[in-house]
Structure 1
Amino acid sequence: MNRREALLSLGTVATAAAIAPVSAKEISGFPHGTAQSADHMPKPIRFGGYQVLTDDTDRQTLTAIFDRLIPADDLGPSASQAGCLEFLDDQLAGDYGAGKALYLEQPLHPENEEALMGSPQFLTTPKERYKSGLNALRAYAKAVEGKPFHELSADRIDALLMAMEAGKLDLGKDVNAQAFFELMLQNAREGYLADPIYGGNRDMAGWKMIGFPGARYDYRPYIDRRGEELSFIPVSLIPAD
């Protein structure tokens, strides 16, 4: 598992908009008649402390894991430094954590579900999966490693994450370790690359790393400027002062 490639494997998003010393002319304004109503606008992160990840040990465990999935290096900050835990907490406190978009009813034939869908169906919400997964990691670390998960060496954490990724770590009958790894990796990626309005991608570090220009209204002035380095400064959905 190459942790930096785990993030970049999402594709070569916006690599044409590489950072360079020459700036493209910006355009301003937009047709206000096309603006969305307030109830359809993105909901910014709710600041003021953690809402779901209130346990110190849970946050320390997730920090240790996220920072091995996306470590700090000369390309950018680590996942936790970029605000991925704040992003995750806010998502778990809302509709995502409650599984509002998921089908959580028991299938008619559970034995066929994984074969048909290509992955197991979970009847618990993401919020519940994090709770049970973190509890299982806490118990495993205490019983097998003799210390809290976040106190393990980086190499040992890597080994455990690779075992989870391969489906070779037993976290008990109630936790699918491989699926829990995939959930954490997905959420770390999302936090690193989502618009900063949701709490992650602090200072737009993820966008700057891959050269993504952000939430710009109009690209028409640049369509014919193929191959040029436009040096776009990323733009967030966060309203300008």
Structure 2
Amino acid sequence: MNRREALRSLGAMTASVTVAPYLGADEIRNFPQSTQLDGEFIPTPSHVGGLQVLNDDARRRTLAAAFDRLIPGDELGPSATEAGCIEFLDGQLAGPWGEGATMYRETPLQPHAEELTQAPQFIATPRERYETGLDALNDWTRDNDGAEFAELAPERQDQILSDMEQGNIDLGQGVHTQAFFEMMLVSVREGYFSDPIYGGNRDMAGWKLIGFPGARYDYRLYADHTGEKLDLIPVSLIPQD
């Protein structure tokens, strides 16, 4: 498992992008300057101060180690934790998503529903699933390797994550191992490519990696430049002074 495998699902998107992932470009001008947001609606960064949920040292170390194996740092860009993926997930777990606000979590569980949706049904919230899953992963590695997941060699961490993905590891009652791996993989991808206003994609490293120009007001000025190298500098939702 490596960066390219973790980002494989983005292949179709990157193939259609015609911008370059580096800074210093000359941009097309004459876009609207008078459009302003009411101050109450100006977006503000969601993650300020310390961590709100992922403040248990063992869980945070385990998650950071897993994230950095799913998206390791290399010559193309920073690792997941360097890009702020822990802060991104912490913000999500502290909000409505972490509370399962949009999930139906009433009993009884319906096994046939899982067959129809091809996905497991959960009563636990995403926040609870992360807490239970990280604890179970550490318990499993202590029993089988004599150490926490974060203390293992990178090659061993890769093997464990691969076995989780394939369903070859049972983390115990209350943890759907494959679904827990998939949740971590989705979270680290979202953190790496989200708008920086949500805490991840620090310095827009993920966008620069794939050449995405960011949250721009309008792309109509570039509609007639298909196939051209525009070299647009990524723009975040974070208000600029």
User: TM-score scaled by structure 1?
Assistant: 0.92
Label 1:9 to 1:170 Cα distance change in 2 as closer, same or farther (>3 A): same
Cα distance in 1 for residues equivalent to 2:130 and 2:194 = 20
**2:178 is the counterpart of 1:178:** yes
Cα distance in 2 for residues equivalent to 1:45 and 1:227 = 36
Alignment of 1:31-42 (within 5 A): 32=35, 35=37, 38=40, 42=43
Name the SS for the 2:105 alignment partner: coil
Structure 1 contact 193–200 (Cα < 8 Å) conserved: yes
Cα distance in 2 for residues equivalent to 1:98 and 1:195 = 22
The one-letter code of the counterpart of 2:141 is A
Alignment of 1:183-222 (within 5 A): 183-222=183-222
Label 1:11 to 1:167 Cα distance change in 2 as closer, same or farther (>3 A): same
The one-letter code of the counterpart of 2:90 is D
**2:89 is the counterpart of 1:88:** yes
The one-letter code of the counterpart of 1:195 is D
The match for 2:223 is 223
Identity of aligned residues (%): 54
The match for 1:118 is 118
The match for 2:160 is 160
Which of the numbers 27, 35, 58 marks the counterpart of 1:24?
27
Name the SS for the 2:5 alignment partner: helix
Label 1:136 to 1:74 Cα distance change in 2 as closer, same or farther (>3 A): same
CA RMSD of aligned residues (A): 2.0
Q: Give the CA deviation at 1:154.
A: 0.5
* Structure 2: tracts of 5 or more residues without a match: none
Cα distance in 1 for residues equivalent to 2:6 and 2:105 = 28
* Structure 1: tracts of 5 or more residues without a match: none
Residues 11-65 of structure 1: CA distance to partner in whole angstroms, max 9, x if unpaired? Answer: 33352122477523144445648x57836x6552231111101111111111110
Cα distance in 1 for residues equivalent to 2:52 and 2:30 = 39
Cα distance in 2 for residues equivalent to 1:68 and 1:27 = 44
Greater displacement, 182-191 / 49-58 = 49-58
Q: Give the CA deviation at 1:231.
A: 0.4
Cα distance in 1 for residues equivalent to 2:180 and 2:38 = 36
Number of equivalent positions: 238
Cα distance in 1 for residues equivalent to 2:152 and 2:226 = 48
Q: Give the CA deviation at 1:122.
A: 0.9
The match for 1:68 is 69
The match for 1:58 is 59
Q: Give the CA deviation at 1:8.
A: 3.9
The one-letter code of the counterpart of 2:69 is R
Cα distance in 2 for residues equivalent to 1:113 and 1:196 = 36
Name the SS for the 2:11 alignment partner: coil
Label 1:56 to 1:200 Cα distance change in 2 as closer, same or farther (>3 A): same
Label 1:140 to 1:36 Cα distance change in 2 as closer, same or farther (>3 A): farther
Cα distance in 2 for residues equivalent to 1:239 and 1:81 = 22
